[in-house]
Amino acid sequence: MSGIDAVKKIVETEGQARKIVEDSKARAQQIISQAHHEAGLLIQEAVSSAQKQREQILLEAKQRADAEARQSDIETQQQLENYRRLAESRKDDAANKAVELILNA
């Protein structure tokens, strides 16, 4: 192999090496870009999932609070009815005692 052939071979090899390096850089940039895109999608998915969970938790908490409020209303109405009956009973007893006192006087 002559010196000119060797130089041509070296130049050709360097050209191939530059092309490989440029192709590798382009591919690396493409991989990085794809990774950023996929990371963005994963972040959006995670945020969306967290918002859905938050909404579900709030809905369940509201439903529990509403159920507890209804139960409290029922219990309050029952207590009021019991107090009303007790008051009526005592009023009747008081009226009967007043009549007794008047008649026995």
Q: Has residue 64 got a pLDDT over 70? A: yes
Confidence class of residue 1 from pLDDT cuts 50, 70 and 90? Answer: low
Q: How far is C-alpha 92 from the geometric centre of its chain's CA atoms? A: 58
Confidence class of residue 104 from pLDDT cuts 50, 70 and 90? Answer: confident
CA distance readout (Å), 10 to 18, 19, 24: 12, 14, 21
**pLDDT confidence of residue 84:** 93
Structural domain boundaries of the chain?
A: 1-74
More confident residue, 91 or 24: 24
Q: What is the tens place of the pLDDT at every residue in 77-87?
A: 999 999 999 88
